[in-house]
Chain A
Amino acid sequence: CSQQPKPTDAVSVWKNHQQQLETLNQWQLRGKVAVIEADKRQSANMVWTQQGEQLAMQLLGPLGAEALSLEFSPGNLEIKAGEQRYSGANDPELQLQQMTGWSVPLADLPRWLIGLPDTEQYLLNDQNRVSEFVSAQQWLIAYPSYMQVGELILPRQINVETPKGQLKIRINQWQINDD
């Protein structure tokens, strides 16, 4: 994406917000997640809970039927998907992919979900929040819309363009648990 020069006050507003985001430690979001690839589209309701480095992702199917629950803390991964169970220290992204076919960038999502880019290649929107950035693995992550959450402005929609297709997330509710 082209790098127009960013007005200094916009950058400082963003830098201030970025620091606030870096301090977020305990939060939860509820929304819809979809994987759209050439030959298949899948969507589910998602609850993502973050506590420091610990994360829990629950996926619900139609009418709230339980589809998958994943819990990860460094060195320990638990996945339940229907009858399948996994518990161990495998790489979470690889294990999830093998069990369900879902390729979700679990290691990157905690930062991307709250709107933190992981490279300097980002653009700001008119609210001085990230409109898009190119990730370390050269994927384009776009933030088409944001929402007010207390005094924070957090992503409402996130689109991740990957070589295989698109990961779309629409967040219906944020809950920040840091006091």
Chain B
Amino acid sequence: DAKSELREQLSGITDFTANYTQQVLDVDGSELQLAQGELKLLRPGKVFWQQVSPDDDLIISDGETIWYFSPFIEQVSILDAQSAISTTPLILLSTDQDSAWEQYQVETSEAGYLLSSVSDPDQAQFWIDLVDGKINAFSIREQSGQQNNFELSEFESNTGIDSAMFSFEIPSGVSVDDQR
């Protein structure tokens, strides 16, 4: 079925890097934010989002801990990765845990695979355009109707990314907001 097909395609990707262009649209389709950055992923659980424009926020997860560094306020927020899994389907890109996947039903649609929450279908919905092991785009439609679209370019998979990439050294002088 569509879910096992998607999980199989994803499991063929041990790691990938890509540049992304992110567009956030409000419920009536007007653009709220346009951002660009670099995304790296190492399964299971390791994710690296370096935004470069308009701001240089950084999000890193090593699978246990998530660091969200915001240079604008010179602060890093530290969160527990497991608790974040339920908040965003994006984490599904990097995890193969049945416990995470059980929360979603998967069907194929013209925009690629459509994932929606089993318990509450009109909660956030998630599309991923994944063909022949290449992720071209993914997007999240929040319950409010806000749409968050990511277009990927220069997608390269299975290049052997070093896992040391996915930890964050707190620069001196940066305030720590530990939310765990």
Contacts and interface: CB of A to CB of B under 8 A. Distances in A.
Interface of A: 30-32, 34, 36, 40-43, 45, 47, 58, 60, 62-66, 69, 80, 168, 170, 172-173
B73 A58 contact: no
Looking at chain B, what size class is its interface with the partner chain?
20 to 34
Given A45-B33, A80-B144, A63 B22 contact: yes
Contacts of B142: 65-66
Nearest to B54: A172
Contact of A34 (B49, B68, B73): B73
A66 B33 contact: no
A173 B59 contact: no
B57 interface: yes
Contact of A65 (B26, B73, B75, B148): B148
A143 B33 CA distance: 24
Contact of B22 (A30, A64, A66, A168): A64
A35 to B, nearest CB: 9
A32 B57 CA distance: 11
Contacts of B177: 40-41
B35 interface: yes
Given A64-B24, A168-B72, 19 more contacts: A36-B73, A41-B74, A41-B75, A42-B73, A43-B72, A43-B73, A45-B55, A47-B32, A47-B33, A58-B26, A62-B68, A63-B90, A64-B32, A64-B33, A65-B88, A65-B142, A65-B148, A66-B142, A172-B54
B87 to A, nearest CB: 8
A66 B70 contact: no
Most buried by B among A30, A58, A65: A65
Nearest to B175: A41
B125 to A, nearest CB: 14
29 contacts: A30-B32, A30-B54, A32-B55, A32-B72, A34-B73, A36-B73, A41-B73, A41-B74, A41-B75, A42-B73, A43-B70, A43-B72, A43-B73, A43-B75, A47-B32, A58-B32, A62-B59, A63-B49, A63-B88, A63-B90, A64-B22, A64-B32, A64-B35, A65-B142, A66-B144, A69-B26, A69-B144, A168-B73, A170-B55
B35 A170 contact: no
A119 to B, nearest CB: 28
B146 interface: yes
Interface in B1-45: 22, 24, 26, 32-33, 35
Interface string B69-94: 01011110000000000001010000
B157 to A, nearest CB: 21
Contacts of B144: 66, 69, 80
Contacts of A65: 88, 142, 148
Nearest to A170: B72
Contacts of A31: 54
Contact of B57 (A58, A62, A80): A62
B106 to A, nearest CB: 22
Interface string B163-180: 000000000000101000
B24 to A, nearest CB: 4
A73 B111 CA distance: 38
Nearest to A30: B33
